[in-house]
Structure 1
Amino acid sequence: MTIETLTRQTRRSFLATGAAALAMPALATRGLAQQTYTCRIAHTEGIGTPITNAFDAWTEMLNTRSGGRIDAQHFPAAQLGGLAEALEGSRIGTIQVTTAGPDSEEAIAPEIAALGGAPGFIYKNEAHVDAVLQGELGRRASQIAREKTGVEFVAYGETGFRHILAKRPVQSLADLEGLKIRVPQLRIWVDFWSLLGAAPTPLPYSEQYSALSTGIIDAIDSDVFSIEGFRFYEQARYLTLTGHWFLPKAVRVNAAWLDSLPQDLQDLVRSSAQEAFAEQRRVNRALADQTLEGLRAQGVEIFALPEAELAQMEARTEPLFEQFGSVSPETAEMIAAIRALG
């Protein structure tokens, strides 16, 4: 029951029953005095994408199911800053929730980064992704994140497999030679594309469109929903389907904020996140082909990289598993565990 409803009922009861209503102001006061917990949800995902729609749905769940005790506010599309700001905000608590691939923890917790698709080609298909993230390894990653970064992974969404969007056709491994491709500001991505002969260019996510426009970069790698949602196809018209990197999106909640909630609200945050992002994964997978057709209708030329070329990409980047695993025994163990489930 909302505070407004309680107040209206209090007034009606006072008029109808006279003296019996004298007890009601105390009830109204207790209702008005209940603590409200602000939950700012901020991320860089595009408006209209399945993951942003899931955050919309989750925001409504939190507000409604908490009876107003949680005041959830949703700021998509980098409205409160880029990915670096969102990650730092979620760690220190200036925002309560964001989303990013677990690979964003490369410097702090490299064993978690492995779950974010690092290095490339670690995930074979969507069933493999589910076996990892919805099982024991996903739960272990959340606990490690709590201990090392101050956030809890309450659920996992996804943007799906990433492909190459370029200003010129990429139809073979040779076409990657010297290609100026934007990468996140993480070493593992730089190493991945360097092994393939490209010229990786670290840039913030929010600068991709303008960098394509000005020629700072020739290409990006991205999921199809972001290509459509951020209209990257306006600056690069050639999409090569490689599926080289699958990017899960951990729903990251500041652990101190979560622990400050009453137990019933902690349970609500976790259970409703699981519900909202299970649906997000279903929708994301169902709409991928439809989104590709929408891009084709916008004039994007779409190629499938031949299997032999994909096999060469995998072979060239295979050394990254050993290189990345050498960071720590825990990282090597996590990589082995992920690959074993595939």
Structure 2
Amino acid sequence: MRETCRRRWAGGLAGLLFMLAGPGQADEQAAPPVRVLRISTENTADHVQTQAIARFAAQLEQASQGRLRVQFHHSARLFRDRDVIAALTGGKVEMAVPGMWQLDRYVPDVGLYMLPLFYGLPAVQHYRVRDGHIGRRVSARIERDLGVVVPGRWLDLGYAHLYFTHGRVDRHAELAGLRIRIPGGAANRGRLEAFEAAPVLIPWPDLPDALAQDRVQGVLSTHETVRSAGLWDQGVRFGFEDREYFAQYVPMINARFWQSLPEDLRRLVRDSWEPVVDAQRSAAAEAQRQARRALQQQGIEIVSPGEADLLRWRRMARRQEPALIREMGVDPELVRQAERVVAD
């Protein structure tokens, strides 16, 4: 009897020890959790931005060796860019790459890049500001104000120019009095008003009717957007290639999701993003060149003002800048720093 009791006691003790030790051993042998990274953009599959993000998603998932499952939803299948910031900060999606023109109403300092200071400047000047310490400060303010992480440099769309229906514009002075559709933004309005044009805020879906009814004679847009929309069918016949502003897309990741990642996965996200940027920027520039040729093949005449004219009219537009800075809420110190970089 005593022997039987000893065997039962020993067996019970062994079971207890197994139960205590078992979970720890199982945890040590368990595979790391698989995290899901959903990415939302609104551009279609053939857009250079979409193609670049698709490469990033594939490379990141492969490099994570099963620890990240990346789900890329383009063509606004999850959210339109105008809605994605609220979705991102609310945790309904982990990553988005909206156009910078969607952000300045949330983070005024993004409006820095729309100011007349940058009107007509070559791309290299934009990159010197945006990829340097000023750009890092702007990205840090996006992170602070929106509760996101910006994992690296921004992607390109390219220059916005002016396009017209009724008559060719050869000189800036001929912009006076023309009603020109803008998508919004104080800087777009102020820049055109400095040229004595009449900016009109019209949602993109309403633009064909506005052109047909002669409510506007011009459009602020890009070669690629005019091409993809076939605006020659709406009467657009002329282009004034004056480099109004340089448009980019901003990568953003929900900060709570970012904090949930171990440090090596955070590094992997950044390391996977950066190699995509230079190739995408080159592809975006080529897409705009191809779109320009396509517009010309459709009979659209494009006038390119000279650098001296751009400089003269940039100085004129900058007279509006102090009022714009106050209205937009851009940090004046950032503007002064950008002036120094551009002047060097």
Whole-angstrom distance in 1 between the partners of 2:263 and 2:205: 37
Structure 2, unaligned stretches of length 5 or more? Answer: 1-25
Deviation at 1:311, TM superposition (A): 4.2
Q: Give 1:158's aligned amino acid.
A: D
> For the Cα contact (< 8 Å) 2:108–2:329, is it kept in 1?
no
Whole-angstrom distance in 2 between the partners of 1:67 and 1:295: 45
Q: 1:79 to 1:196 in 2, by over 3 A?
A: farther
> For the Cα contact (< 8 Å) 2:87–2:93, is it kept in 1?
yes
Determine whether 1:153 maps to 2:150: yes
Who is 1:133 aligned against?
130
Whole-angstrom distance in 2 between the partners of 1:128 and 1:186: 22
Q: Give 1:323's aligned amino acid.
A: A
Who is 2:301 aligned against?
301
Q: Which structure: larger Rg?
A: 2
> For the Cα contact (< 8 Å) 1:41–1:72, is it kept in 2?
no
Superposed, which structure 2 residues align to 1:35-50 within 5 Å?
35-43=34-42, 45-50=43-48
Q: 1:119 to 1:194 in 2, by over 3 A?
A: same
Deviation at 1:210, TM superposition (A): 6.0
Who is 2:317 aligned against?
317
TM-score by length of 1: 0.78
CA displacement 1:175-194 (0-9 Å, x = unmatched): 32343322233222222222
Deviation at 1:62, TM superposition (A): 2.7
Q: Give 3-state SS (helix, strand or coil) of 2:336's partner.
A: helix
Deviation at 1:145, TM superposition (A): 0.9
Q: 1:99 to 1:36 in 2, by over 3 A?
A: closer
Determine whether 1:124 maps to 2:121: yes
Q: Give 3-state SS (helix, strand or coil) of 2:154's partner.
A: strand
Greater displacement, 59-68 / 147-156: 59-68
Structure 1, unaligned stretches of length 5 or more? Answer: 1-25
Whole-angstrom distance in 2 between the partners of 1:329 and 1:208: 29
Determine whether 1:175 maps to 2:171: no
Whole-angstrom distance in 2 between the partners of 1:66 and 1:210: 49
Q: 1:255 to 1:245 in 2, by over 3 A?
A: same
TM-score by length of 2: 0.78
Whole-angstrom distance in 2 between the partners of 1:301 and 1:61: 42
Greater displacement, 265-274 / 304-313: 304-313
Q: Give 3-state SS (helix, strand or coil) of 1:318's partner.
A: helix
Whole-angstrom distance in 1 between the partners of 2:300 and 2:45: 21
Deviation at 1:240, TM superposition (A): 1.5
> For the Cα contact (< 8 Å) 1:224–1:291, is it kept in 2?
yes
Who is 1:9 aligned against?
none
Deviation at 1:124, TM superposition (A): 2.2
Who is 1:255 aligned against?
255
Whole-angstrom distance in 2 between the partners of 1:78 and 1:175: 38
Greater displacement, 105-114 / 162-171: 105-114
Deviation at 1:47, TM superposition (A): 4.3
Q: Percent identity?
A: 21
> For the Cα contact (< 8 Å) 1:103–1:110, is it kept in 2?
no
- From 50, 57, 62, the equivalent of 1:59 is 57
Q: 1:184 to 1:82 in 2, by over 3 A?
A: farther
> For the Cα contact (< 8 Å) 2:120–2:243, is it kept in 1?
no
Who is 1:187 aligned against?
186
Superposed, which structure 2 residues align to 1:193-212 within 5 Å?
193-205=192-204, 208=207, 211-212=210-211
> For the Cα contact (< 8 Å) 2:239–2:300, is it kept in 1?
yes
> For the Cα contact (< 8 Å) 2:103–2:110, is it kept in 1?
yes
CA displacement 1:263-291 (0-9 Å, x = unmatched): 22222222212111221112223454333
Greater displacement, 329-338 / 74-83: 74-83
